[in-house]
Structure 1
Amino acid sequence: MRKVLTVLAMLMAQPLAAQDATTAPGGTLRVLDKITGRTHDLELRNGETGTVGLLAVTMMECRFPTGNRTGDAFALLSIVYNNEPDPVFRGWMIASAPALNALDHQRYDVWALRCSSE
């Protein structure tokens, strides 16, 4: 029994294998203007910038689990407010967990919806 527990402990201590991801040509983001209550969907290609009000959102990359295009989207974004020199957000957003790494802004919410197929 002790050997079994030792082997289980060793297996559990091993890092999990990383999930393979495929880069899509772009993706869809949703932007909520908290003042007006309106939502806007931005369909952007990688490297493209879209604007909603005073917000400029650049999608640098969109990834999805290999073999599961409809699976979770991971979007690498840079978000600038009112042409400020520094972005208010720069990082990965995950479609299934938008609060994990969210834009912290008084007027806008942004979250990833899906990666595009073309």
Structure 2
Amino acid sequence: MRNLWGRRGHALIDYGTAPALAYAARRAGLGRRPLRCADTFVGLILLAVTTTRTPLGVVRAVPFRWHGRLELASVFAQLALPWLAGFAGDRRARRFFLGFAAYNFLVWWTTDWAAQE
């Protein structure tokens, strides 16, 4: 299952993930703080995909492998966020971010980070 996506495929997934995350966060009925955190990740995803060296990148400044390292770091941030941001007691928000972290890890795991340009 590993290495399903190259540079273009991963960029397409990221471009689709950003609006899907914004929509899902609103559908989930997240409170103010968790919604703000989700919106921050929407912006970070768009910033990352538009600045990474992929066929769909706009600025193409960030090496693809760095994008992967940052994406893996974001998985750990998403896992810890409910506790760090103080909304771990909100079961819906906690599950939302843990699910988002699992999804993000799956995308990271299935991407070929050594794919050629």
- Per the normalisation by structure 1, the TM-score is 0.28
Q: Which structure has the larger Rg?
A: 1
Q: Which structure has more helix as a fraction of its residues?
A: 2
Q: Which one scores higher on RCO, CA 8 angstroms, separation ≥ 6?
A: 2
Q: Which structure has more strand as a fraction of its residues?
A: 1
- Per the normalisation by structure 2, the TM-score is 0.28
